[in-house]
Amino acid sequence: NAGVTQTPKFRILKIGQSMTLQCAQDMNHNYMYWYRQDPGMGLKLIYYSVGAGITDKGEVPNGYNVSRSTTEDFPLRLELAAPSQTSVYFCAIGRTGVEQYFGPGTRLTVT
Partner 1 sequence: AQTVTQSQPEMSVQEAETVTLSCTYDTSENNYYLFWYKQPPSRQMILVIRQEAYKQQNATENRFSVNFQKAAKSFSLKISDSQLGDTAMYFCAFMKHGGGGADGLTFGKGTHLIIQP
Binding residues for partner 1, rule: CB under 8 A, are 1, 31, 33, 35, 40-45, 48, 50, 56, 58-59, 88, 90, 92, 94, 96-102, 104-105
Rounded to whole angstroms, the Cα distance separating 45 from 76 reads 12
- Least separation in angstroms between CB 68 and partner 1: 13
Q: How far is the CB of 14 from partner 1 (least distance, A)?
A: 24
Give whichever of 91 and 110 is closer to partner 1, judged by the CB atom: 91
Nearer to partner 1, 11 or 44 (CB): 44
Cβ 40 to partner 1, closest distance in Å? 7
CA distance 89 to 38: 9
Q: How far apart are CA 35 and CA 19, in angstroms?
A: 16
Nearest to 74 by CA among 2, 9, 4, 1: 4
Q: Minimum CB separation from partner 1 for residue 58, in Å?
A: 5
Residue 96's contacts (CB-CB under 8 Å, 6 or more residues apart) are 31
| Nearer residue to partner 1 within complex by CB, 16 or 104 | 104
